[in-house]
Amino acid sequence: MSGLETFGTVSDALARRARDAGQSLAVSFPLEGERLTFEDWDKYATQVGKGLLESGLQPGDRLALWSQNSIAWLITCLAAARAGLILVPINTYFGEGELVYALRQSGAKAIALSKSFRSKSYFDVFSGARQKVPDVGVTVVLDGEESGCLSLAALRDIGRASDRTLPDVPPSAPAVIIYTSGTTGYPKGATLTHEAVMAQGALSSRRLGMRSDDRVTCVIPMFHSASYCTAVPGCLFTGATYIGQDAFNVTSMLQVIESEKATVHFAVPTTLSALLDHPDRASYDLSSLRVGTCGGMDVDAAVLRRCAAEFIPGIVQIYGLSEVSAIAACGDPNDPDRFDNCGQSLNGYRIRVVDPNNGLEVARGISGEIQISSPYAMREYFEMPEETKATFSDDGWVKTGDIGFLREDTKLVVSGGRLKDMIIRGGENIYPAEIERVLTAYPGVEQVAVFGIKDAYYGEIVAAAIIGNDELSVSDLDRHCREQLSSYKVPVKYFRMERFPLTASGKVRKVELREMATNDQLFGL
């Protein structure tokens, strides 16, 4: 990392903010009436961090965190960093099977979770799975008390009474394991260091021109790298205020932007379109917004231009992935030519495009696989050496599997294709192999091909073409999938087939299946 700027840890950044601007507002969840100054956040993180260590955890242990966006999430996140624990954010959409897998695969020694949110009881799901994860020895309830569990308040009390010295955590230590869907059907845990997380927040906030007086809204759940690695550390680096919402709701987000005078907005295409097309948007005062980001395979340049003209003047397109700590390329909010491309790479990141067949770099303007080199890329997929090796090229570049090209001015254009058949539904990455594995296990299903079809709202939705017996029904398959998969992964459409279109090597031609579905040439189950 010679010649590169160093950024320390997220915990270091919080300590600096508490020292230099302690009474400034750090976090606000206005709809819940909760607020934290930097000084309070720093104090609570220290107390909870000590409490976690007093409960029997050791630096380097993994702490799972399963909750909607909240101030408790942010306190626990920084407490883990301060205690030298490795955070394992759990996708709030996960069902029992996915939760058990993540806890086992990460070797989590503890879990902090909300009791419930909306119609989902995290506590009940975890309780039902408890015997399957015996290594999880500590359970922390973030929003109340439960028998046999520690509450967040109790951890703070334990930490307040402790004279324990917190560990000196080096920037090179692992900070987080962020699970991404895998082409094998199982999630993979991208292991990121403290410095990588803090560098991502610092470098992206610089590109966006963020300042200490900014007020940042983010629709992205905190378990995502775009929130954990970009929005939150970006606020810590600049001293900006993070304005939170437990989960995205278009009307309440408009209310929050207006009431809190938000200046920066992190979005995905689905939520941006929802805000843009809300029938009452014109009745809200959104004039405080200055810059914003939008990333995903289905970013529409026309939508970005309309957003810039109507309510986020400095909206930019971004490109990244969890394996490189989130954003690798980001547009400049002042660049008039920022809507059709993702801008240039951030400092500390390099982007190249290679021919997928031979791995050689292609000329400017030629499409190929996007690859990224950065000291802020993941260290590994946690305890998955073969998958880690397959993701890096021989010379150390991350192979993204995404198709795009670099213009002559080195701005990146993501041209929409993917080497694998990943589906992106409303900003969530979905790999067909996982769904195919679940469907194939259902009695009467012989062969399955899962693919994405275009959707005006979500960008893509999940469809499944099935070869099987005549007794198969949509309701049975839907129920089977919902028992084992997050709701957003469950197929919306099922098609019955007698045979699949195949390549010469015997692989299913999913491109042809998509075309057939679009042209109404497939028949429903």
Q: How many CB atoms lie within 10 A of CB 350?
A: 13
Co-location of 434 and 395 in the same domain = no
The 3-class secondary structure across 326-358, one letter per residue, is: EEEEECCCCCCCCCCCCCEECCCCEEEEECCCC
Report mean pLDDT in 10-residue bins for the chain, 525 residues: 75 97 97 97 98 98 98 98 98 92 97 94 96 96 95 97 97 96 72 97 98 96 95 97 95 97 95 94 98 86 95 97 97 96 97 91 92 98 96 96 92 77 82 85 93 92 95 95 93 95 71 91 91
CA dihedral (36, 42, 43, 44) in degrees, to 10, reads 60
Six-digit token pair at 85? 């624990």
Co-location of 377 and 499 in the same domain = no
Q: Would 413 be classed as within a structural domain? A: no
Co-location of 253 and 312 in the same domain = yes
Co-location of 393 and 448 in the same domain = no
Cβ contact 62:90 at 8 Å: no
Co-location of 431 and 303 in the same domain = no
Boundaries of domain holding 351: 10-403
Co-location of 377 and 430 in the same domain = no
Q: Which CATH number does the domain housing residue 36 bear?
A: 3.40.50.12780
Q: Would 3 be classed as within a structural domain? A: no
Q: Which run of H or E residues covers position 105?
A: helix 96-106
Strands ordered across the beta sheet of 188-193: 150-151, 138-141, 110-113, 62-66, 86-89, 174-180, 188-193, 380-381
State the distance between the two ends of the chain, measured CA to CA, in whole angstroms.
55
SS3 category, 297: coil
Provide the pLDDT for residue 356.
Answer: 82
CA dist 154 and 146 (Å) reads: 12
Q: Which CATH number does the domain housing residue 520 bear?
A: 3.30.300.30
Six-digit token pair at 99? 């939760």
User: Number of folded domains in the chain?
Assistant: 2
In terms of DSSP bridges, do strands 291-295 and 314-321 run parallel, antiparallel, or are they unpaired? Answer: parallel
Q: Would 417 be classed as within a structural domain? A: no
Q: Which of 371, 403, 435 is the last residue of a domain?
A: 403
Co-location of 383 and 438 in the same domain = no
Cβ contact 138:103 at 8 Å: no
Provide the pLDDT for residue 298.
Answer: 66
Q: Would 288 be classed as within a structural domain? A: yes
What pTM was computed for the model?
0.84
C-alpha distances (whole Å) from 30 to each of 33, 36, 63, 70 are: 5, 11, 28, 11
